[in-house]
A and B are shown apart, each in its own frame.
Chain A
């Protein structure tokens, strides 16, 4: 048997190896998603925070935010901003948001939502449902409009994060701005979410980090929450649009139209 014959004798291995390769690849691609692994300790702490927020008739807080922008070449830069939230259940909400790249003022009440962009001096007003939950769902669906940290203002703030979470864990007591907090981590199939909840006082979120793991460059959103207040009522004037005289009215595009 010469070398040629030897090589010929092993030729049958090639298709078998290719088939094996394909089988392994197929098995990996069709492997079912692992079952959700939710930590009961984390779940319990999160539930307390959600209960506190969900039970409040009115609350307000301040958030200092940082968010990444991923440029070509996966260069990632970080911008900052600040935001003030005011929530009056069941149907009033106000957000004042300013960032390095612009800002927004949002007023919601009496079944009407107004979004003002001070950078452009333009605003739009639309009729929306009269409860915060329905309004948030509808504007996300129809106008493609989502609001930062809006998870916190739903009547059940835990419902949506828990619905998409496939993993959660309790990471320990870690301070935020000197306040000891329970540090929790949740992950969906696409993103990672961390929340720090006050360990000793009222179980309120003190910090939130969202990592968009599935996006190029894994941009992060970081919010440090402070100034929590729970008044009985917030003055209704806070939820009325206060537009500059020269503000120009424009329209919302429908979400399906807004997509490129």
Chain B
């Protein structure tokens, strides 16, 4: 009986300890995340304009903290929603000043505002689709490269890969099989080429082949390389993103829109009285 009670007490103590540890872990978890995250979060993206409104520390709005130095054309200013992808990286957005001209009626104001919003949303959607298109193309290309690399590796391993006595996953394979696989199009001509031109590397081997010098193995050159963009920032569909070149033709402003300076950046707004 005493033994049972002792066991239950131990369980109780362990459970309490675990709960307290879990609570403390929960309490600290957000802090650790905040320290470790990349960027300031918020899902906004910066830029806009030609950079003229950058480069001040402390200057700008009197009394304001640094970082609020520019209310115009500055990063994030078009991101009140905090959603990424609803921006233009060029900074040439058609934004209306909020007032200055009086609208004739509230309904007119509403209509013009809706028109503007629709136009703006269309523009953003168009840009986002361009990004997505570029993203998909890149992902496909990377997938293909990776596949080719894997095939090459398999072929190399299967064919000749055993410096240590052939004790790897492909113990039953032969050169002919590997070449056959290559010929069948798994890796295609590139795999054959790489097999002939590149040094042979067995990733499962415990030591490099003679003459290879240091480990890790030498660079294969031309093989799969990780993309230079996107480091798992947590933004959906953008982790393998390669931005489009800055050469997209600029969309002209809608008919009748008037230019004005928003800070140091030229932007366009609907005709006076239409918003």
Contact = CB atoms under 8 A, between A and B. Distances in A.
A89 to B, nearest CB: 16
Nearest to B43: A216
A256 interface: yes
Given A68-B46, A140-B69, A219 B75 contact: yes
Contact of A253 (B12, B65, B97): B97
A223 to B, nearest CB: 6
Interface in B62-90: 62, 65-67, 69-72, 75-78, 80, 84-85, 87, 89-90
A254 interface: yes
A105 to B, nearest CB: 10
B9 to A, nearest CB: 8
Contact of A21 (B26, B77, B233): B26
B247 to A, nearest CB: 12
A31 B91 CA distance: 38
Contacts of A259: 71, 77, 98
Interface stretch (B27-35, B105-113, B168-176): B27-35
B59 A136 contact: yes
A140 B62 contact: yes
B27 A24 contact: yes
A70 B99 CA distance: 30
Given A17-B22, A71-B45, A252-B261, A81 B50 contact: yes
Contacts of A1: 4-5, 8
Contacts, number: 295
Contacts of B266: 117, 119-120, 122, 250
A9 interface: yes
Interface stretch (A35-43, A51-59, A184-192, A235-243): A184-192
Nearest to B77: A260
A221 B69 CA distance: 14
Contact of A102 (B28, B49, B65, B233): B49
Interface size class of A (residues with CB under 8 A): 35 or more
Interface in A173-216: 186, 188-191, 193, 208, 210, 212-216
A124 B50 contact: no
A254 B263 contact: no
Given A72-B131, A216-B46, A151 B56 contact: yes
A7 B39 CA distance: 43
B220 interface: no
Interface stretch (B146-154, B185-193, B198-206, B237-245): B237-245
B163 interface: no
Contacts of A77: 243
A213 B40 contact: yes
A103 B260 contact: no
A73 interface: yes
Given A71-B47, A257-B97, A161 B71 contact: no
Contacts of A143: 72, 261, 263
Nearest to B80: A260
Contacts of B31: 28
Interface string A57-94: 00000000101111111110101010000000000000
Closest 8 A/B residue pairs (Cβ): A73-B238, A160-B58, A102-B50, A69-B47, A17-B23, A148-B55, A257-B97, A70-B46
Given A99-B52, A188-B67, A217-B40, 9 more contacts: A17-B23, A65-B54, A72-B238, A102-B49, A137-B62, A145-B261, A148-B52, A193-B57, A253-B100
Interface of B: 4-5, 8, 11-12, 15-16, 19-20, 22-24, 26-28, 30-31, 38-62, 65-67, 69-72, 75-78, 80, 84-85, 87, 89-91, 95, 97-100, 128, 131, 229-231, 233, 235, 238-239, 241-243, 246, 258-264, 266
8 contacts: A117-B266, A137-B61, A141-B61, A145-B261, A147-B52, A160-B58, A193-B66, A212-B67
